[in-house]
């Protein structure tokens, strides 16, 4: 009797694993690897790609304290979390090696460090912070891109997407200049992505460089008229209140960017794009 029941269970299991829907979904779902996915825009990318059924490799520096990401992972079995500090080159290489056999359709370079505004102005420059910002935003992003470019080239979609910033556009720089290190790190990153678009073009890899716009990852929308505003953000809050700047939510910005990534063309590779698809000046 027990043998019959066991045989029946094995038969049912075989039927389940052989079901074409299940097998083909996992096999055909595209894969995205995201850096810095524990909060802000990266977290929202992880959430939306997971909901779209993609295989999501959501990386972050400290998975143990990434509560919101852990919550998404508990809802979506197609999302896995990996520990990755993009400035730890040995760890980047080790992760790339561990996934050597995996084709990655979209590599999403999201992680970045903004740093304190007051420490990035002429007369009060914190050089340790400046080095750190460049180490994360420029060097770390380049290292991740280099380590995973073969995984992307082996995929169907072949897309490297990097979040740049209009703060790194020399042409769009307004007075008073601030965030010196962050701006410089993004300007250099833009140039590196242009280089990479040229270097990988003959392998069919598309390099998308996207400015997300001003996205409310710091809770600006919740600041009331009488609430204290952190010194670093007084200028941006002033511009928001006067209507000069417009804020988007992470949900809206990421939705826009996923549409751009989905429809990215060879002509847009190595071009600096806004989240709404407009071309931005360098």
Minimum CB separation of residue 35 from ligand NAP in Å reads: 6
> Does residue number 112 form part of the binding site for ligand NAP (CB under 6 A)?
yes
DSSP tag of 177: P
Cα gap 255→232, rounded to integer Å: 28
Relative to beta strand 272-274, strand 55-60 is unpaired
Stretch that binds ligand NAP, among 57-65, 96-104, 120-128, 223-231 (CB under 6 A): 57-65
Q: Which of 25, 41, 17, 150 is nearest to 78 (CA)?
A: 25
Shortest distance in whole angstroms from residue 25 CB to ligand NAP: 29
Number of residues that bind ligand NAP (CB under 6 A): 27
Report the distance separating Cα 273 and Cα 146, nearest Å: 22
User: Residue number with the shortest CB distance to ligand NAP?
Assistant: 40
Task: Report which of 36, 40, 45, 38 is spatially closest to residue 219, judged by C-alpha positions.
Answer: 40
55-63, 171-179, 238-246, 264-272 -> range binding ligand NAP (CB under 6 A)? 55-63
Q: Where are the alpha helices (DSSP H) in 19-64?
A: 20-28, 40-51
Among 34, 79, 106, 163, binds ligand NAP (CB under 6 A): 163
Which is nearest to 163 in space by CA: 130, 185, 146, 179? 185
Q: In what order do the strands lie in the sheet with 55-60?
A: 79-83, 55-60, 31-34, 106-109, 159-163, 206-211, 272-274
Under rule CB under 6 A, residue 40 binds ligand NAP: yes
- Round to whole Å and give the CA distance between 118 and 120: 6
Among 87, 138, 149, 155, binds ligand NAP (CB under 6 A): 87
Whichever of 104 and 112 has its CB closer to ligand NAP, that residue is: 112
Max distance between CA atoms of the chain, in angstroms, equals 84
Instruction: Kindly state the smallest distance separating residue 74's Cβ from ligand NAP, in Å.
Output: 19
CB of 240 to ligand NAP, least distance (A): 11
> What's the min distance (Å) between Cβ of 113 and ligand NAP?
5
Instruction: Report if residue 82 touches ligand NAP, rule: CB under 6 A.
Output: no
Residue with smaller CB distance to ligand NAP, 38 or 55: 38
Positions that interact with ligand NAP (CB under 6 A)? 35-36, 38-42, 60-62, 85-87, 110-114, 136, 140, 163, 165, 211-212, 214-215, 217
């Amino acid at each position: 009797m027990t043998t019959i029941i066991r045989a029946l269970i094995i038969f049912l299991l075989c039927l389940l694993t052989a079901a074409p829907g299940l097998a083909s979904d996992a096999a055909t779902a595209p894969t995205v690897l995201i850096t810095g996915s524990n909060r802000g825009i990266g977290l929202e990318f992880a959430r939306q790609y997971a909901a779209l059924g993609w295989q999501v490799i959501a990386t972050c520096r400290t998975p143990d304290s990434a509560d919101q990401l852990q919550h998404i992972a508990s809802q979506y079995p197609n999302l896995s979390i990996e520990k990755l500090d993009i400035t730890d080159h040995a760890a980047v290489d080790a992760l790339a090696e561990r996934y050597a056999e995996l084709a990655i359709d979209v590599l999403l370079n999201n992680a970045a460090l903004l740093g304190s505004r007051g420490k990035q102005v002429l007369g009060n420059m914190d050089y340790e912070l400046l080095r750190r910002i460049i180490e994360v935003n420029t060097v770390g992003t380049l290292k991740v891109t280099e380590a995973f470019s073969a995984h992307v080239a082996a995929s169907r979609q072949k897309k490297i997407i990097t979040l740049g910033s209009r703060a790194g556009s020399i042409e769009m720089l307004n007075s008073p200049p601030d965030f010196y290190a962050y701006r410089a790190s993004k300007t250099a990153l833009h140039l590196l992505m242009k280089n990479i678009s040229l270097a990988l073009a003959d392998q069919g890899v598309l390099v998308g460089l996207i400015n997300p716009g001003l996205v409310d990852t710091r809770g600006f929308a919740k600041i009331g008229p009488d609430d204290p505003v952190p010194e670093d953000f007084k200028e941006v809050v002033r511009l928001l209140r006067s209507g000069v700047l417009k804020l988007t939510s992470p949900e809206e910005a990421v939705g826009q960017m996923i549409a751009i990534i989905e429809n990215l063309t060879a002509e847009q590779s190595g071009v600096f794009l806004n989240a709404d698809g407009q071309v931005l000046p360098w």
